[in-house]
């Protein structure tokens, strides 16, 4: 079975997700349920 965790793109996606969470923590409280939730939402 292929180990996807060895892919560079996987590491970049994890770093991007960490960045999104870091940035959205600095948003004002009134944005926490609007823009923040949209930015953190996973596409499924």
Give the pLDDT score at 9: 94
Model pLDDT for residues 1-44, shown as the tens digit of each residue = 679 889 999 999 999 989 988 987 887 877 666 776 676 776 54
Going from N- to C-terminal start, the domains of the chain cover 4-40
Residue 37 burial (C-beta neighbours within 10 Å; 0-12, 13-18, 19+): exposed
DSSP-based three-state secondary structure for 39: helix
Give the pLDDT score at 25: 83
Token pair for residue 29?
A: 């409280």
Give the pLDDT score at 15: 95
Give the pLDDT score at 16: 92
DSSP-based three-state secondary structure for 8: helix
Give the pLDDT score at 19: 92
């Amino acid at each position: 079975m292929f180990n996807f965790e060895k892919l560079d793109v996987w590491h970049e996606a994890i770093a991007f997700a960490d960045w999104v969470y870091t940035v959205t923590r600095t948003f004002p409280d009134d944005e926490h349920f609007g823009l923040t939730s949209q930015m953190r939402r996973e596409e499924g």
